[in-house]
Every structure is written in structure tokens, then in C-alpha cells.
């Protein structure tokens, strides 16, 4: 997968698969899979660091995780998320952040929102760095939204998202993540853009899908928003394995003779 393949996939009507990845060992596993794209999302602030929102991700944090993922997944297309306010502090700091993510191993950067930052986006693209947009529920604006809520439910909001989608395409973005919008809006945006859309909670008409790895693996059994499908019972599997190991240690069943040095 490279930047040109995204457009080709949309033209060919072939969906793009993307999943988040934040660390070396899961990157090693994902590198062996068929997945098209890895997203080092700023959701790592929540999933890996336990914060209550993505607002806590920093450029250093993102670059550290991108580098770990690149070491584990040398063959995959890696998307690096520009963290909270990193494109809102002027061109210099924005370009420093882009440089940090690209030098850490990203193939492109992803930027949430459109208003007030289209020029920065265009400048990054002109500088030779591919940019993926992100509209709908943009989690860095969670405080402004009053929570993690579906966006674009009424006609005015839907029209605004559609207009913003056209603007990020105009700014040079090569793809667009659409998060938590009604399926019909996901379809409209996808049909009206030339660039591919990648949805999360945006219905089945987008040109691809993205999920948080830990969510789709069921690492938090209780986390099951409407758009999420659990592909494994990860929380149960890990807890059972660790309990099994614990019992073996307590009972003296581990290690066995075959697991000892002579």
C-alpha cells in the first residue's frame, strides 16, 4: 500500500482496511496480516496511557509510538495522528510536529477538523507530506461537542460536514476519515468526493473502515458502542491465560522438566 493505492482502491471499488496500532509487539503481529493500513491514532492517550480523552496526546508521545510501530511493521503504510492543537499554534510548530512524525516513520499525517486550518493542511501537502483528513466526531474537540456524540444528525450539521469534506479535499488531502455520522451522510460524502473515505461508525458506504485494535479484539468486554464489532474476546482470553499461569505456578505445575535447563 502506498499513497497512490488509496485513489486506485476507490476507483476500483475495493474497500480499504485500517486498524490502530500503537506499539512494537502488536505491529509485529499486524505486519504479518492482510490489513492495508496502520493508524497510530492519538486514541493511544486513552488506550495505552489511560487518559480520559485524546486531548492528552503530545507530539513526543505520538512520535515515540510511531517509531515503535515502524520498527514492528516495516512493510505497512503507517498513518501518524497530529495531536491536540498541534496544527493550531502557527506554521512553524505545525511543521515541527509533522517533521517529528515523518522522521519517526509515518507515511503521512492525519489532521482532525477543517475550519481555520485549511491553509496549514495545504502547506503540509505542498511540502511533500500526504495528509489524511478527519471529520464528523473529531475526538480532540470532545469538550466542544459536549461528549462523544454522533455528528451531522440534522440537516444543517450534515451540510456543514459535507462542505468541510469538500474543503479538505480541495486543500489536498488524499483520504478522509469520517467518524460517527449517520450512514446516509457517510454515503453522501463518499459519493461526492473524489478521494476515498474511511469510516468508523459512518455506515457501509465509505471506501474503507477503521477500528481501534483493542476495541475490535474485545480487550474491554464492556465497551460495545453500536458501530463496534468484537472479533475476539481479548479481555477474557488474556485474563484466562494469566490465571492459568498463576495456578500452574502456585500448584508447582510450571515449569515442567522440559522447561528446565539440565
Nearer to ligand KIV, 138 or 169 (CB): 138
Contact window for ligand KIV (CB under 6 A) among 39-47, 95-103, 215-223, 230-238: 39-47
What residues from 142 to 171 belong to the interface with ligand KIV (CB under 6 A)? none
126 is catalytic: no
Q: How many CA atoms lie within 13 A of 11 on its CB side?
A: 5
Strand, coil or helix: 108: strand
Q: In the stretch 202-231, what mask flags binding to ligand KIV with x, by CB under 6 A? A: --------x-x-------------------
Nearer to ligand KIV, 39 or 158 (CB): 39
DSSP string, 164-189: HHHHHHHTT-SEEEEES--HHHHHHH
Chain centroid to Cα 54, Å, comes to 12
Report the DSSP beta bridge partners of residue 197: 176
CB of 248 to ligand KIV, least distance (A): 36
Give the torsion sign (CA, 210, 77, 6, 175).
positive
Name the closest residue to ligand KIV (Cβ).
41
Of these, 42, 72, 94, 105, which contacts ligand KIV (CB under 6 A)? 42
Q: Would you say 95 and 127 are in contact if contact means Cβ atoms under 8 Å apart?
A: yes
Q: How many CB atoms lie within 10 A of CB 110?
A: 24
Of these, 10, 20, 109, 133, which contacts ligand KIV (CB under 6 A)? 20
List contacts with ligand KIV (CB under 6 A): 20, 39, 41-43, 81, 134, 177, 179, 200, 210, 212
Amino acid at each position: 500500500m502506498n499513497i497512490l493505492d488509496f485513489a486506485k482502491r476507490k476507483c476500483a471499488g475495493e474497500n480499504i482496511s485500517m486498524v490502530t496500532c500503537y506499539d512494537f509487539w502488536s505491529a509485529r503481529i499486524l505486519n504479518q496480516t492482510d490489513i492495508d493500513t496502520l493508524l497510530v491514532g492519538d486514541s493511544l492517550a486513552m488506550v495505552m496511557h489511560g487518559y480520559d480523552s485524546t486531548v492528552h496526546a503530545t507530539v513526543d508521545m505520538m512520535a515515540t509510538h510511531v517509531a515503535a510501530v515502524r520498527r514492528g511493521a516495516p512493510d505497512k503504510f503507517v498513518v501518524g495522528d497530529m495531536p491536540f492543537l498541534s496544527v493550531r499554534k502557527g506554521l512553524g510548530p505545525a511543521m515541527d510536529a509533522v517533521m517529528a512524525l515523518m522522521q519517526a516513520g509515518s507515511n503521512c499525517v492525519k489532521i482532525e477538523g477543517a475550519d481555520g486550518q485549511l491553509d496549514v493542511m495545504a502547506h503540509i501537502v505542498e511540502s511533500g507530506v500526504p495528509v489524511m483528513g478527519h471529520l464528523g466526531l473529531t475526538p480532540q474537540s470532545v469538550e466542544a461537542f459536549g461528549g462523544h456524540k454522533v455528528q451531522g444528525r440534522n440537516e444543517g450539521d450534515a451540510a456543514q460536514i459535507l462542505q468541510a469534506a469538500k474543503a479538505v479535499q480541495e486543500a489536498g488531502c488524499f483520504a478522509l476519515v469520517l467518524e460517527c455520522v449517520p450512514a446516509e451522510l457517510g454515503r453522501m460524502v463518499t459519493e461526492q468526493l473524489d478521494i476515498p473515505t474511511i469510516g468508523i461508525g459512518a455506515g457501509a458506504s465509505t471506501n474503507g473502515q477503521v477500528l481501534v485494535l483493542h476495541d475490535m479484539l474485545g480487550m474491554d468486554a464492556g465497551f460495545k458502542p453500536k458501530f463496534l464489532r468484537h472479533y475476539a474476546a481479548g479481555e477474557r482470553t488474556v485474563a484466562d491465560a494469566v490465571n492459568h499461569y498463576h495456578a500452574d505456578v502456585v500448584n508447582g505445575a510450571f515449569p515442567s522438566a522440559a522447561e528446565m535447563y539440565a
